[in-house]
Amino acid sequence: MKKIIAITSCPVGIAHTYMAAENLEKAGKAVGAEVKVETHGSIGIENELTARDIEEAAGVIIAADTKIDKSRFGGKPLITVGVQEGIHHADELVRDILAGKAPVYKSTEAIISSENKSESENLGKKIYKSLMNGVSYMVPFVVTGGLLIAISLTLGGTATPEGIKIPEGTIWATMNSIGSIAMGLMVPILSAFIAQSIADRPGLVPGFVGGMLAANGALYGSDANAGFLGGIITGFLAGFIALGIKKVRVPKALQSIMPIIVIPILGSLAVGFVFIYVIGEPVALLFSSLTHFLAGMQGGSEIVLAMILGAMIAFDMGGPFNKVAFLFGSGLIAEGNYSIMGPIAVAICIPPLALGLASLILKTKFTKTEREAGKASLAMGLFGITEGAIPFASTDPLRVIPSIVIGAMTGSVIAMLSGVTVSRAQYVQKYDESAVVWCANLLGMETGQLKEILRNVSVHYREFWMRKRKGGYRMISAPNKTMQSIQATINSRILSPVTMIHPAAVGFRNGHSVVDNANPHLGKRYVLKMDIHDFFFSIRSPRVKKTFEKIGYPENVSKVLGTLCCLHRHLPQGAPTSPSLSNIVSYEMDRKLAALAAEYGLTYTRYADDLTFSGDVFPKEQIIPRIKQIIRDEKFEPNHKKTRFINEYGRKIITGVSISSGVKLTIPKARKREIRKNVYFILTKGLAEHQRRIGSSDPVYLKRLIGELCYWRSIEPDNSYVSDSIAALKRLEKGY
């Protein structure tokens, strides 16, 4: 009996590996030949070929989509095909070996290098193999974590007004925590083993580090992590960076430490910096803008909003788009809007339920592994865990993701049209009756009117985009007259008398201006300017409620007051109460930063979200990391792009005020020149001619220019030119 040896392997290492092995063995039996198959599966090499097996073999069949070492088969007839060929054409492969049609393999360096070159040229295949490698290691984490969470909720969960909750201290709570840890490792594992497939073991550490970065949105200023799509990005990024470093020629003395020290360290740093600064921050800004965009759509078509939210939920299955949509819906519930969360809840369940049912009903369309994942996906879908669909999406994203997005959009729209919503009785914020009555008396309004406002705070705002002076836009949330009156009363009667504001905070305070922020830094050699990313947005409603409690109000009253001061679960930019609350909330951060500054002999001030440090000796390498850590400890995030360290020769401008002279405050030279130019042309050519020349039709142009001059005078009160210009323009104004 003739003997044939074979190797089968697929990227996932489960179904196709063993299907090809089985079919090759059956094909051998059919023609009276013995076929011994070495399988390279997920649990390692099984049925390993011996030297004797190779010697006795009439030929070799390699049916694999992974890299296989062929050096031991030199001088043997050898056929190399993909694993799918081993499944579907096993009989042809066996007959070709027996008929002597297979070419003899010559194990030479030239051939090996040629093969490697050929493999490297097929980038698409390499990307596919790497992705499948990551998925194969990720799937057990998704299945394990999802099932543990589902079981713990089923057996240990209790229905509450906020949904199913597991009592603390129970065995089910412990099981839920274990499941959450397993799910949390999903993205790092995916990233790590994509990188490992590309660059071998040296890619493992950069890939895992990159995956952890993708799973931790706080590092790049996002409320949501980058999800499995972020893990795929960091995996390929880490893999190709590590591969690039591997190819760098180094002295022999360094070669031994390259895979264990040099490549992991350099690769991790490169991936980290690229993801945080090049990818992460723009992504964080995108999702912040998305939140504002969704907020602006509330007054529009609910059907369109439902479609958008459904698509976001399904697109990345627990990633940033999913989280933004979910948090948006949750925020509306807190404000009394219950219509949106129902469609969102439907969209959450559709991807895992649809794919789980498809794998059970259409069994021939799915592998054994996918059918097993489908069972877990079905269980997760019943509890609203969208991540159950990730194994399918990762394997075939181009078909799966568009399908589930369309399905989720359809389900979301149907839910909206059908009036599917969360129950008010279940989810409405419960306000203590006595607290509502007390607040109504404080605000001088009827209790019923206040209750109606509390049911839906968002309808009492008008939101619009305002252009920033230095480019870009910011969302302004302007309260209507009723809400503005309420917030003005809260501000004057509750917030203004509060003394829990640090002296270093000079913004949003009566009798203080940008002059008070810049003046303490005058004459200092070094200046560090930093900025807090999305300052008001970072101050969430639970924090606002706690602030009222710290001031001295009971929890039930603080809940009402906090709701009246927040929009979309954060401080709105445009509300009269937001500036005062931001200063009170920031007290602890200001205290810690002021203490740090004093430790190094520095001066510290804060004007809204602008932080300034100055001193004659400034060890920035020591101080900046500590500043950033304090900011993060206080639940804010530094805006890395706006961090500026200015040496003694640099142009020092703090909140629009120049301290560069070291002697006196002034406004920047460029601004001076612009104002002087405009004043000169108005006084010599006339206002109408000047506006025609610059193409301005602003009816209050002259008033604006006088306002700029008044601001200049507030910085330089002794400047005679400014005073004379103001007087001359006011005379001109009266003439008009």
201 band by pLDDT with thresholds 50, 70 and 90: confident
- Average pLDDT value over all residues in the chain: 85
16 band by pLDDT with thresholds 50, 70 and 90: confident
Checking if the pLDDT of 300 tops 60, the result is no
For residue 315, the surrounding DSSP H or E stretch is helix 302-316
Decide if 272 contacts 209 (C-beta within 8 A).
Answer: yes
Say which amino acid occupies 200.
Answer: D
Let me know how long the chain is: 736
Closest CA to 429 of 450, 455, 452, 447: 455
Summarised one tens digit per residue, pLDDT across range 627-638 is: 999 999 998 989
Checking if the pLDDT of 328 tops 60, the result is yes
**In the predicted model, what is the mean pLDDT of residues 255-282?**
82
The confidence score (pLDDT) of residue 673 equals 94
**At CA 598, angle to CA 596 and CA 601, rounded to 5?**
115
**In the predicted model, what is the mean pLDDT of residues 703-711?**
93
Is residue 10 annotated as a catalytic residue, yes or no? yes
Decide if 640 contacts 615 (C-beta within 8 A).
Answer: no
**In the predicted model, what is the mean pLDDT of residues 716-726?**
93
Dmax over CA atoms of the chain, in Å, equals: 115
Conformational region of residue 241, where left means phi above 0, alpha means psi within -120 to 50, and beta covers everything else: alpha
Tokens representing 8 are 């089968």
How far is residue 268's CA from residue 206's CA, in Å, rounded to a whole number?
4
**In the predicted model, what is the mean pLDDT of residues 549-557?**
93
What are the backbone angles phi and psi of residue 592, rounded to the nearest 5°? -65, -40
DSSP label at 617?
A: S
Decide if 124 contacts 2 (C-beta within 8 A).
Answer: no
Three-class secondary structure assignment of 242-257:
HHHHHCCCCCHHHHCC
For residue 164, the surrounding DSSP H or E stretch is strand 163-165
Summarised one tens digit per residue, pLDDT across range 578-603 is: 999 999 999 999 999 999 999 999 99
- Catalytic: which of 10, 349, 565, 566? 10
Checking if the pLDDT of 110 tops 50, the result is no
Q: Structure pTM? A: 0.53
DSSP label at 171?
A: H
Place of tokens 């939101």: 463
Beta bridge partners of 627: none
| Cβ-proximal residues to 49 (8 Å cutoff; 6+ apart), any chain | 5, 7, 36, 38, 72
Q: How many CB atoms lie within 10 A of CB 674?
A: 12
CA atoms within 13 A on the CB side of 283: 27
Checking if the pLDDT of 576 tops 70, the result is yes
How far is residue 538's CA from residue 608's CA, in Å, rounded to a whole number?
13
